[in-house]
Structure 1
Amino acid sequence: MLFLLTMLLILLALGIAAPFMPALTWSIALAVSVQRPYRWLLRKTHRPALAAGLGTILVMLLIVGPVLLLLERLASQFFQVVPLFTSGAAQDWVQATLQSHPKLNSLLSQATAGMDLKDSARTAAAFIAGKLQGILAGSVNTLTQMAIMLYALFFFLLDGKQIATALGSILPMTAGESSNLLRRMQSAVEASILGSLTIAAIQGTVGGIIFALLGVPNAILWGFMMGVLATVPSLGTFLVWAPVAVFLLLSGHVIKAAILVACGMFIIGSIDNVLYPSLVSKRLEMHTLAAFFGVLGGVAIFGISGLVLGPLVLVTATELIRIWLPGAFRVPTTES
């Protein structure tokens, strides 16, 4: 009876925590990732609460702040563009631009024969506006999750060691096994965060170089925006290079637009799929293919939190199987 009551209460506790899993996941991930700066602050201040508070403020200023500012700017730009399509002003500008480029105008006329471009543009604008309204409606929840994340981050920095010790004490395994499991879990979180930031930096740099070579104005700024959006799977670099490609096309630079689309799809867009599993798999002590599906499956199940939870679940499962079957997942070496 006591066992059933305990299981029921555990399920209820998980149900209570479920709405805040994204915030808790990223607060734990950030707490693990900023351990070195936090320890430096702790050595300088000798006051754990002050060091944890300063660490949380730094995360808010250096990570959360720029992301929120960039997303706000993107949203404001979208809301400015949508009325231009619904009013027909953008269509008139496009038509005037095409008339100044006869070859491009002829090509598009043949490709869109029988289509009402203005009506299609209005329909697309209405669709985009509906999506943006949905995003705006969910912004309150996003801000709430970020506030909870920062609040939890403070306590994970302050009491991280005690929490890890408490977690290790309830695991039904030896001290060495629990210590090794917690080490692997910490390594998985660090690998996920550092891997995501590294890939985002590479994508932003490559995108900025491509923009500069194609003569796109403010290439550095667009590359930075691409790097920030690359950390968000639901957004991605497509939101940057696709509008720029459309701008180049409508400006008469057909070849440049085609080059940018090709680079965006096959170079920028494939960097994370190719490099991320390789970067993460070494730290996870896991095969690259397993890391690849761990990340993709985690994002599919948990959303953006899957970048951390996917590899973490795989590493934990692998380590538990190794405890039960000590010889599992260890490939014997052969002598030549």
Structure 2
Amino acid sequence: MTAPNPLKTPDLEFKSLLFLVLAATALFLLIVWPFFGAVCWAVFIAIVFWPLHQRLLRGSQGRPNMAAAASLTIILLIVILPLALVTASITQEASLLVAKMRSGEVDFGAYFQRAMQALPAWIRAILERLGVGDLGVLQQRALASLGGNGQALTARAFSIGQVTLDFVVAFFVMLYILYFFFRDGGAIAQSIARSIPLRDDHTHRLLTHFVTVVRATVKGNIVVALVQGTLGGLAFLVLGVQGPLLWGAVMALFSLLPAVGAALVWAPVAAYFFFTGELVAAIGLALWGVVAIGLVDNFLRPRLVGRDTRMPDWLILVATLGGLVVFGLNGFVIGPVIAAVFLVSWQMLAAARQQDVAAPAAREPD
């Protein structure tokens, strides 16, 4: 009788396969990491627009290539092209504002000094101790850092071009991946579900929650950002603030932070109007910020984000902030997704433990 081969035991073979899978996965993540943002956004956009793609797939009589191309075209026309046009307008307005600052037409230092002079003496003393008593010096330093001499701009030209090239490459990689996610998304999802070493009900719950959180976070945060940025930009336009489109975009970006984001932009402007004696503008902007912009955050965000994710507001805020710190701009989606997976995984573990405890008790005789 032939002795069993110790290198062919099922346990050793399984451990070897597991080691191979983990090593290959680590190496794959290493080579994909430079395009991490592109892959993430391809996943996010595919999840958000998947219902639209399904309708296009039915309309194309089940031809996946045509449906994927149609979905990608619609996204380019209704999302990416308008975003590119708005970005170009914001860039132009930012350049114009910087030019006005250099020429002295816009002097934030003078505005700040006017507000400082309207403050009580004890507040001015505190601000001067903190080193923020003279914004004129800070403005001059900011202008110098924006490229006051040609040599600095020439030295930075290569790095700026490299960043632009990286963005363009990542953008087209994202579009390329997105096409295949639309075309093969169903098969990819089924393959992932089969590969996850969990019970079928746990796998279904985990993937369903992941999709729900991505859709709610992307749609909710982007809608809230657009609405708050538009409302803030309109208010600044009416009040004659320089660069209303630029400040509206900044407000939209800050509004990714729940509860406090947009106020970081409009509140200092309202305070400036108040301390410089423009009480009507100050009160009007404060009321607009609290009532209009604030209501968007207090009522629209929970209905678009919190209701579907079933996460408390404080956890969404902490997860968003942490995601932005760790992953950059991508973190406003990745942070809440990680928090949601954390919650649902612990809930599944607690439910499994309760079932294990209840099972022996049910088998005990009366």
TM-score by length of structure 1 reads 0.73
Matches within 5 A, 1:38-77: 38-46=53-61, 47-77=63-93
Task: Please say if residues 298 and 310 of structure 1, whose CA atoms lie closer than 8 Å, have aligned partners that are also in contact.
Answer: yes
The 3 A distance-change label for structure 1 pair 312 and 263 is same
State the number of aligned residues: 314
Which range is displaced more, 124-133 or 1-10?
124-133
2:37 aligned partner, one-letter code: P
> What CA distance in whole angstroms lies between the structure 2 residues aligned with 1:120 and 1:288?
36
Aligned partner of 1:7 among 12, 22, 46: 22
Shift of 1:73: 2.4
Aligned partner of 1:154 among 179, 183, 186: 179
For structure 1, the 5+ residue unaligned runs are 330-336
Residue 142 (structure 2) aligns with: 124
Which range is displaced more, 164-173 or 147-156?
147-156
Matches within 5 A, 1:103-118: none
> What CA distance in whole angstroms lies between the structure 1 residues aligned with 2:280 and 2:353?
52
> What CA distance in whole angstroms lies between the structure 2 residues aligned with 1:218 and 1:121?
16
Shift of 1:29: 1.0
Task: Please say if residues 94 and 246 of structure 2, whose CA atoms lie closer than 8 Å, have aligned partners that are also in contact.
Answer: no
Residue 182 (structure 1) aligns with: 207
2:195 matches 1:203: no
Aligned partner of 1:193 among 206, 215, 218: 218
Which range is displaced more, 193-202 or 258-267?
258-267
2:327 aligned partner, one-letter code: F
Which range is displaced more, 172-181 or 187-196?
172-181
Task: Please say if residues 322 and 328 of structure 1, whose CA atoms lie closer than 8 Å, have aligned partners that are also in contact.
Answer: no
Residue 104 (structure 2) aligns with: 90
Q: Percent identity of the aligned residues?
A: 27
1:8 aligned partner, one-letter code: A
Matches within 5 A, 1:234-249: none
Shift of 1:220: 9.8
The 3 A distance-change label for structure 1 pair 124 and 57 is same
Residue by residue over 1:261-301, the C-alpha shift from the partner in whole angstroms, topping out at 9 and shown as x without a partner, is: 75698674896588635642221123333233222222222
2:204 aligned partner, one-letter code: S
The 3 A distance-change label for structure 1 pair 70 and 231 is farther
The 3 A distance-change label for structure 1 pair 171 and 327 is closer
Task: Please say if residues 228 and 255 of structure 2, whose CA atoms lie closer than 8 Å, have aligned partners that are also in contact.
Answer: no
Shift of 1:217: 8.9
1:319 aligned partner, one-letter code: V
State which structure, 1 or 2, has the greater radius of gyration over its C-alpha atoms: 2
The 3 A distance-change label for structure 1 pair 327 and 290 is farther
Across the aligned residues of Structure 1 and Structure 2, the Cα RMSD in angstroms comes to: 4.5
2:140 aligned partner, one-letter code: R
